[in-house]
Amino acid sequence: MNPHRLLHRTVTVLALLAGLSTAAFASKDKPLIGLSLDTLKEERWQQDRDTFVAAAQKLGATVIVQAANSDDTRQVSDVESLISRGVDVLVIVPHNGDAMNRAVKSANEAKIPVIAYDRLILNADLTCYLTFDNVKVGEAQASYAVAHLPAGRKARIVRIYGAKTDHNALMFKQGQDNILLPLIKAGKIEVVHEDWATDWKPDEAKKIMDAAIARAGTNIDAVVVSNDGTAGGAIQALLEEHLDGKILVTGQDADLAACQRILRGTQAMTVYKPLKSLATLAAGVAVDVARGKPLAPSGTLDNGFKQVPSIFEKVIAVDKDNLMDTVVKDGFHTASELK
């Protein structure tokens, strides 16, 4: 047998014996990246994954993707399997920002750097965190609602937050609070119902909206909802009461269905986060980290363990007036898809 083939065969056999794939023989030239996602259910995460993988491949890397279906135990074992496959760097979107620090510890012990993507991992030794300005997302949602509330009387609003296990959900609420609390204190706004949607599920949001109507009646001016998936759930509840389009609803992500609802008038706004630029940036950072190149963070964020070098991207509030100039102009959705 030709000596090269023999060597390749020996390496493959050894790799299989060690429970590894040949891809585990990563090098700095061709880094192996492990991407562990909480979920792929929402449209945005599919876009994040596709952009990240394509950008990393362009830079010579290979990406192994795992998605945990909102299950902490599964996500920890996903990360452990990526570690055992010899990845050079891990990129994690945690389901639970607290629970994932165990997985980061295992990576740290294996000397594998960890990058948190979009969602922070708490009390963990992260190399970098890339995200959008999440407080600004919440501020944009609440400011939009406030600007469109009726004048001359106390406005009645419902607040639907995201998953309590997601640090971002707290940041969105914090941003909303920055705008709403002074007005609530001044007696200009009353929150007639509020709750957290477990795992960001649209069904949970529908239940919260049903409960709000049961408790406070249909005399509601706005529903400040933290993302488009849950906005869809809330709007379903409104539709059943023939109130869709009559009560302002906010969102986030510029999901296709949400953009269609904006054009139809059943959802007032969304917050567009240019995912392509964040995912492309993250792929570049992951490859640089694997190659030992220095980072260029735009700031830091305290995760309870350290000031994590962080990169924050800007967000854009979108309603029917600027949908074409933002989401469509960027190619995030095409005009024909929106019809």
Structure-token pair, residue 27: 């090098």
Q: CB 38 → ligand BGC: shortest distance, Å?
A: 7
CA distance 62 to 59: 9
Cβ nearer to ligand BGC, comparing 44 with 261? 44
**Residues 160 and 208: beta-carbon distance below 8 Å:** yes
Q: Give which of 267, 259, 271, 274 is closest to 336, Cα–Cα.
A: 259
Among 63, 67, 115, 119, indicate the residue that binds ligand BGC (CB under 6 A): 119
Instruction: Name the pairing type of β-strands 114-117 and 89-92.
Output: parallel
43 binds ligand BGC (CB under 6 A): no
Q: CB 119 → ligand BGC: shortest distance, Å?
A: 5
CA distance 206 to 320: 24
Cβ nearer to ligand BGC, comparing 42 with 330? 42
Among 144, 200, 272, 332, indicate the residue that binds ligand BGC (CB under 6 A): 200
CA distance 33 to 3: 30
Beta bridge partners of residue 300, listed in sequence order: 309
Cβ nearer to ligand BGC, comparing 271 with 290? 271
Cβ nearer to ligand BGC, comparing 238 with 275? 275
Cβ nearer to ligand BGC, comparing 53 with 170? 170
How long, in residues, is the chain? 339
313 binds ligand BGC (CB under 6 A): no
The one segment of 162-170, 239-247, 305-313, 320-328 that binds ligand BGC by CB under 6 A? 162-170
Q: Give which of 167, 181, 165, 161 is closest to 134, Cα–Cα.
A: 167
Cβ nearer to ligand BGC, comparing 42 with 194? 42
Q: CB 136 → ligand BGC: shortest distance, Å?
A: 12
Q: CB 197 → ligand BGC: shortest distance, Å?
A: 9
**Residues 104 and 126: beta-carbon distance below 8 Å:** yes
Cβ nearer to ligand BGC, comparing 43 with 288? 43
CA distance 335 to 339: 7
**Residues 316 and 272: beta-carbon distance below 8 Å:** yes
Of residues 227 through 256, those in contact with ligand BGC by CB under 6 A are 227, 252-253
CA distance 266 to 54: 35
Q: CB 32 → ligand BGC: shortest distance, Å?
A: 26
Structure-token pair, residue 278: 């964040």
**Number of residues engaging ligand BGC in binding (CB under 6 A):** 11
78 binds ligand BGC (CB under 6 A): no
98 binds ligand BGC (CB under 6 A): no
Cβ nearer to ligand BGC, comparing 94 with 113? 94
204 binds ligand BGC (CB under 6 A): no
Give backbone dihedrals phi and psi of 318, rounded to 5 degrees, phi first: -130, 130
Q: What angle do CA 221, 265, 196 make, to 5 degrees?
A: 50
Containing 77, the helix (H) or strand (E) segment is: helix 72-84
Among 42, 43, 71, 330, indicate the residue that binds ligand BGC (CB under 6 A): 42
**Residues 156 and 184: beta-carbon distance below 8 Å:** no
Among 143, 168, 176, 250, indicate the residue that binds ligand BGC (CB under 6 A): 168
Q: Which residues bind ligand BGC (CB under 6 A)?
A: 42, 44, 118-119, 162, 166, 168, 200, 227, 252-253
